[in-house]
Amino acid sequence: MSHATGFRRRIRLGPGAEFDLISSLLDRDGDLPPEVVVGPGDDAAVIEGGRLVLSCDLAVEGVHFRRDWLSPREIGYRAAAGALSDLAAMAATPLAALVSYGLTPEDLRTGIARDLQEGIDEACHAVGAAVVGGDLSRSTTLVIDVVVVGRAEAPVLRDGARVGDEVWVTGRLGRSGAALRRLLRNGPSDEVARSVYARPEPRVREALWLAERADLHALIDLSDGLGGDAGHVAAASRVGIVLEAARVPLDPLVAEAAENGRESLDRALSSGDDYELCLVAAPGAVEGLAAGFESRFSLPLTRVGRVVEGQGAYLDVGDGEPVPLRGSGYDHAAPSEPGPG
Amino acid sequence: MSHATGFRRRIRLGPGAEFDLISSLLDRDGDLPPEVVVGPGDDAAVIEGGRLVLSCDLAVEGVHFRRDWLSPREIGYRAAAGALSDLAAMAATPLAALVSYGLTPEDLRTGIARDLQEGIDEACHAVGAAVVGGDLSRSTTLVIDVVVVGRAEAPVLRDGARVGDEVWVTGRLGRSGAALRRLLRNGPSDEVARSVYARPEPRVREALWLAERADLHALIDLSDGLGGDAGHVAAASRVGIVLEAARVPLDPLVAEAAENGRESLDRALSSGDDYELCLVAAPGAVEGLAAGFESRFSLPLTRVGRVVEGQGAYLDVGDGEPVPLRGSGYDHAAPSEPGPG
């Protein structure tokens, strides 16, 4: 099954310490009520018989953003973009957002929240979501939690990939990670890197366009890098996913900075926060849409791999057996996985 | 109109710096989309033609809780209770919750999140809500943002109070504030105060019971104290509310600690986080329910005031003109309001 159709299911996350913790925290309810179609583990939760999609994204100063790199408006924009990307990952139409602010005493004096909110409004309005409520508190660190609500008659989950399917991605990968590396090296005076880093675009319209035109078996946004996120899809669908190294579309920013092609590829596969989409569909189901997609969104749509029997994500570099991709982009210490069955 | 019936409206908040800031941040969207029935300003937002109610509640260490007073499980419970009380305040049936955690590196090591989540689960399960998702990040301060989703065919807002209506409250007021004062004085070894403070009960079932049996014109939970919250209802409904001093039901914990009756009353009127409900209905509409309510919930249901022409909340101490209640329980610096018209 590629779509939520009213029954309850749980999604298995790929390996990685962070995912284990989230999973163990949230996945303890033995019985979810019947209204809950998809519980913890997918990009977003689905309730109300599959109609309503919910997700939240917490941004913390010093972890997700630095004030010396971004303007308050950009910080707000990025916080909302992260949550909205989770709706894109379910092919849901954004409807509303709520925002909780933890502001330092200094923030309360300077009125920074107004600028943060402008950025949040901008990201939300660009995809049709209204900011309908929120909360506000004093805090010792600036934190912003954005909760988004979307509607989807048939949300596309992570668990529908089938052996033989094709794996596709939107855009060119590694852009956000390359910008981050340049910022770490050059500081915010690197205006190219700063502007890329400040304005990730959640692929909301792209996801809706694709889901309307193809029977997508699985969909995810690249928040942990294609390597990690392909692993999440593989785990949820109980299949293996082989990525073909030569097909992965690299952003020019990655290639420019890397020593060689293999380093570019590794970086692109582990670049978090790219917000591009990875989609899985039957052979031939997406091919005919690529030209129309590119002309509509000025973004490539590229086949990067295939679904095989087994478990986990693999990289095929063209010189023999595909090799396991270790863990996610975030947790490189995760143990390697068994090979395809 | 006492109920949301599909049209869009905005709710006016009462006076107070905190409310002004929330209001100015969130109330800037000139046009809310038609799905949004109630935007920022009420206890919760209402979307999807009035069916869906959303609220979030951010709890920050050092502001909303202290680790030396409460166990992690109690901290989690209180965080969720605050959000669930917002659903009670709309007479909505809780459905689902999402939780975002900001955890310190030490918290990530000790696994405190598991205990926090147990408390959140407990509060949510007690009223039928499932925890369906969340987010997790490193942070320098422990923060917990709980987002709740409820369903209500006819959510009861703040803006339907009419001149001549009666004002009622559930329970006895000032309990939480009295416990907080004792904790500040005696520390956590004061086990009576600690247990009261640790376990506020959101009046979810009570609100649903009342809304099923009476045509409630307005409903609010007492998060800022009856003085402040009556002010919110008065502002939203563009009326005056007169509270009758002799009728306000005081919790024994308040009376025990106060110098005299007037001090007890002042404390009860400004005690935040009591989570009792204040309801407004036509004369006679609630009277007949009080005995059944008390026997069902072991809680008094007391008429405490009346709706008059004018604006703001007033206190009638029985010796002349009602006097304006200043600001909310939170912001005592707010200017006093003009008298009833």
Nearest to A327 by CA among A244, A254, A230, A238: A230
B185-207 average pLDDT score: 93
B111-135 average pLDDT score: 92
B304-316 average pLDDT score: 96
> Per-residue confidence at B15, pLDDT binned at 50, 70, 90?
very low
* Distances from the Cα of B124 to the Cα of B97, B99, B220, angstroms: 8, 11, 20
The pair of three-digit structure tokens given for residue A309, joined into one six-digit string: 């029997």
B213 sits in which H/E element: helix B204-213
Higher pLDDT, A67 or A50: A67
Q: Distance from CA of residue B156 to its chain's centroid? A: 14
The Cα–Cα gap between B125 and A241 comes to 38
Place of tokens 């604006």: B311
> Per-residue confidence at A339, pLDDT binned at 50, 70, 90?
very low
For chain A, the average pLDDT equals 85
What are the chain B neighbours of A45 within 8 Å (beta carbons)?
A: 96, 98, 132-133
Contacts of A225 (CB under 8 A, 6+ apart): A173, A177, A268, A269, A270, A271, A272, A274, A328, A329
Handedness of CA B59, B62, B65, B70 (dihedral sign): positive
For an interface test with A, which of B10, B135, B153 has the most A Cβ atoms less than 10 Å from its Cβ? B135
The Cα–Cα gap between A210 and A221 comes to 13
> Per-residue confidence at B340, pLDDT binned at 50, 70, 90?
very low
The Cβ-side half-sphere exposure at A108, using a 13 Å CA radius, reads: 17
Q: How many CB atoms lie within 10 A of CB A20?
A: 13
User: What pTM, to 2 d.p., does this model score?
Assistant: 0.85
The Cα–Cα gap between A22 and A25 comes to 5
What pLDDT is recorded for position A20?
57
Q: Do B121 and A56 touch (CB under 8 A)?
A: no
What pLDDT is recorded for position B329?
36
Residue A331 has pLDDT above 90, yes or no: no
Residue B213 has pLDDT above 80, yes or no: yes
Place of tokens 């459905």: B95
| DSSP H stretches of helix in chain A | 17-26, 72-88, 105-110, 112-126, 175-186, 191-198, 204-213, 226-237, 252-257, 261-270, 290-297
Q: Are B220 and B235 in contact (CB under 8 A)?
A: no
The Cα–Cα gap between B45 and B195 comes to 31
Residue B333 has pLDDT above 90, yes or no: no
Per-residue pLDDT tens for B147-175?
A: 999 999 889 999 999 999 999 999 999 99
Residue B299 has pLDDT above 50, yes or no: yes
Three-class DSSP category at A17: helix
Higher pLDDT, B171 or A3: B171
Residue B177 has pLDDT above 80, yes or no: yes
What pLDDT is recorded for position A308?
97
Contacts of A263 (CB under 8 A, 6+ apart): none
What pLDDT is recorded for position A303?
98
Going along chain B from its start, the domains and CATH numbers come out as 52-151 (3.30.1330.10), 166-324 (3.90.650.10)
Q: What percent of chain B has pLDDT over 70?
A: 83
Place of tokens 């179609």: A37
Strand partners for A166: A281, A306
> Per-residue confidence at A273, pLDDT binned at 50, 70, 90?
confident
Residue B58 is nearest to which of A45, A130, A145, comparing CB atoms? A145
What are the chain A neighbours of B28 within 8 Å (beta carbons)?
A: 117, 121
Residue B10 has pLDDT above 90, yes or no: no
Sequential DSSP letters for B172-197? -BTHHHHHHHHHHHH-TT-HHHHHHH
Per-residue pLDDT tens for A197-254?
A: 999 999 999 999 999 999 999 999 998 899 999 999 999 999 999 999 999 999 999 9
Contacts of B304 (CB under 8 A, 6+ apart): B167, B168, B169, B226, B243, B244, B247, B248, B249, B278
* Distances from the Cα of B280 to the Cα of A278, B329, B341, angstroms: 52, 20, 20
What are the chain B neighbours of A18 within 8 Å (beta carbons)?
A: 136
What pLDDT is recorded for position B261?
85
Higher pLDDT, A301 or A136: A301
The Cα–Cα gap between B160 and B157 comes to 7
Per-residue pLDDT tens for B224-266?
A: 899 999 999 999 999 999 999 999 999 999 988 888 888 999 9
ipTM (interface pTM): 0.82
Q: Do B133 and A39 touch (CB under 8 A)?
A: yes
What pLDDT is recorded for position B271?
85
Q: Which of A39-53, B217-231, B326-340 has the lowest mean pLDDT?
A: B326-340
Residue B41 has pLDDT above 80, yes or no: no
What pLDDT is recorded for position A330?
34
Q: Are A312 and A235 in contact (CB under 8 A)?
A: yes
Three-class DSSP category at A154: coil
B305 sits in which H/E element: strand B301-308
The Cα–Cα gap between A136 and A100 comes to 6
Burial class (CB in 10 A: 0-12, 13-18, 19+), A203: buried
Nearest to A206 by CA among A303, A52, A85: A85
Mean pLDDT highest for which of A161-170, A265-274, A311-320, B315-324? A161-170
**B residues 63..122 contacting A (CB < 8 A):** 63-64, 95-96, 98-102, 108, 113-114, 117, 121
Q: Do B114 and A24 touch (CB under 8 A)?
A: yes
B82-107 average pLDDT score: 94
What pLDDT is recorded for position A5?
27
What pLDDT is recorded for position A34?
53
